[in-house]
Chain A
């Protein structure tokens, strides 16, 4: 049963610390998306990659967020330094044609 795997599922960290979220896309999918979900803003696109190349990261605060795909089986989203306003659920999704398939998300709490 192919699925997108995200780790960790939950993360509590102190303000100013670095946070790294990881995503393993479905094997064979060439497009990876990072979304953030909050009560106020709903689902926001942060960045996406196709064939490991970043195509759009305009949704990310560039001064603190970075997204990479070191290889086809791993996508990472880093926040440094983290702030309380970064508290949200971060979703990774992958796709190849039309629909995207989502992971379970990483619930980040910055205190």
Chain B
């Protein structure tokens, strides 16, 4: 069975500082990994994905994530946080070659960027 763990319910960071939101996963085969962001009263917006290739994936709004197979991690990062990055972030996984099967989501991490 696939699963995702986001070990931090809340991450606080000062504006301008780098941010990291952690995610680890479990799948029986190779993973497809995703990050989504949810702003208040909105749906989930796709940020970035890892399918294959370069372990460092760049996405929307200056975010990037690094796939680490040995640590089964896919942490989300941004070099310089903005107050507008404050939102709920979800990591998700699907097994490679499983077709367009449902994503399995983590519980979410609330990011708060303080001015």
Please tell me which one of the listed residues B99, B103, B108 contacts residue A100 in the complex, with CB atoms under 8 A apart. Answer: B103
- List the B residue with the shortest CB-CB distance to A46: B102
Residue of B36, B43, B107 with most chain A CB atoms under a 10 A cut-off: B43
A91: which of B32, B41, B44, B101 is its contact (CB, 8 Å)? B44
Our count of residue pairs bridging A and B at CB distance below 8 angstroms stands at 48
Q: Sort chain B's interface into a size bin.
A: 20 to 34
Do A99 and B46 have beta carbons less than 8 Å apart?
Answer: yes
Is the CB–CB distance between A42 and B51 below 8 Å? Answer: no
Interface SS of chain A: helix, strand, loop or mixed? strand
| Structural contact, B100 and A50, CB atoms closer than 8 A | yes
Tell which of A31, A50, A56, A98 touches B51, judged by Cβ atoms closer than 8 Å. Answer: A98
Please name all residues of chain B whose beta carbon is closer than 8 Å to the beta carbon of A31 when the two chains form the complex: 100
A residues 83-108 near B (Cβ < 8 Å) are 91, 93, 95-105, 107
> B42, B49, B90, B102: which contacts A98 (Cβ < 8 A)?
B49
5 smallest CB-CB distances across A and B, nearest first, come from A102-B43, A102-B44, A43-B105, A31-B100, A42-B107
On A, residues with C-beta under 8 Å from B are: 4, 30-31, 33, 42-43, 45, 48, 50, 56, 91, 93, 95-105, 107
